[in-house]
Amino acid sequence: MVNNSSAERVQKQMVLIMAGCFLWITYFIFQDFFKGIYHYFAVIPSWWLLVIGPLFGVAVLWSIHRDELAIKEAEAHWVDSQRRFAEIELQFRLIKSNFFKMSAVQFVYYCADLLRALGYQRVELVSEENVLQVIDPSGRSMLVYCLHGSEGIEYDETAIQTLKEKMARSHLETGLFMTCANLTEVATEIATQHNIKCYNGTAISKLVWLVIEESKEKAQSI
């Protein structure tokens, strides 16, 4: 232990001696250069330094600000790229999925994806399995009743009445009924009277392609 400590002290002393020698040799070789710099600054008027100092500070601040703007621009570009990628992924899911062959639960999540793609906000599944609460593009809160069904059947006014009751319990005045099936004329009339939109399988297919076409138009305008 003693030998190691002595060796470390000797090593430190040697490093200090070498550093001192290097500095002395450097000054000796470049002493004219250092003297020139000293005399150069010595003859500069103090008022000139007062002018140059703030200008230099401003230049440094501007350079930092420019770098910050470049970083923010890169971050914004990255966020936009991520958002665009999420939109493409969502559209791909909408196109490749055959909602007519889905289970009832899968259909609810498909409707949620479609509504998000159409600009609906805060699309959330409420306590009931087939009901969504959303905010439409105009800012109104509404309930969405997703009842899968099939192409060969028709829902009557009972389905609309069920949605009306759900809307009343949630204190909402607008609703949306989404299904793969069709509705009777009476059901459609009652829905219109109570501010409920109805989308059957054909309408949902058209909405999916509307989303795709709007996406193409946006891409072409970039």
**DSSP annotation string for 93-120:** HHHH--GGGS-HHHHHHHHHHHHHHTT-
If one counts the domains in the chain, the total is: 2
85 part of a folded domain: no
173 against 82, higher pLDDT: 173
How would residue 220 be classed by pLDDT, with cut points 50, 70 and 90?
A: very low
pLDDT score, position 107: 92
Nearest of 155, 84, 144, 141 to residue 112 by alpha carbon = 144
139 & 186 share domain? yes
37 & 106 share domain? no
36 & 125 share domain? no
CATH code for position 158: 3.40.1350.10
User: Which residues constitute the domain of residue 30?
Assistant: 2-70
| Alpha-helix runs per DSSP H in the chain | 2-29, 31-43, 46-96, 104-117, 157-169, 185-193, 201-221
Planar angle of CA 37, 41, 44, nearest 5 degrees: 145
pLDDT score, position 164: 92
- Residue 168 pLDDT exceeds 60: yes
65 & 105 share domain? no
**CA–CA separation, 48 and 219 (whole Å):** 55
Please state whether beta strands 175-179 and 196-199 pair in parallel, antiparallel, or not at all (unpaired): parallel
35 & 116 share domain? no
Per-residue model confidence as pLDDT tens digits over 79-126: 776 767 667 777 777 777 788 888 888 999 999 999 988 889 999 988
67 against 50, higher pLDDT: 67
The DSSP call for residue 150 is -
88 part of a folded domain: no
76 part of a folded domain: no
Average pLDDT, the chain: 79
**CA–CA separation, 143 and 133 (whole Å):** 5
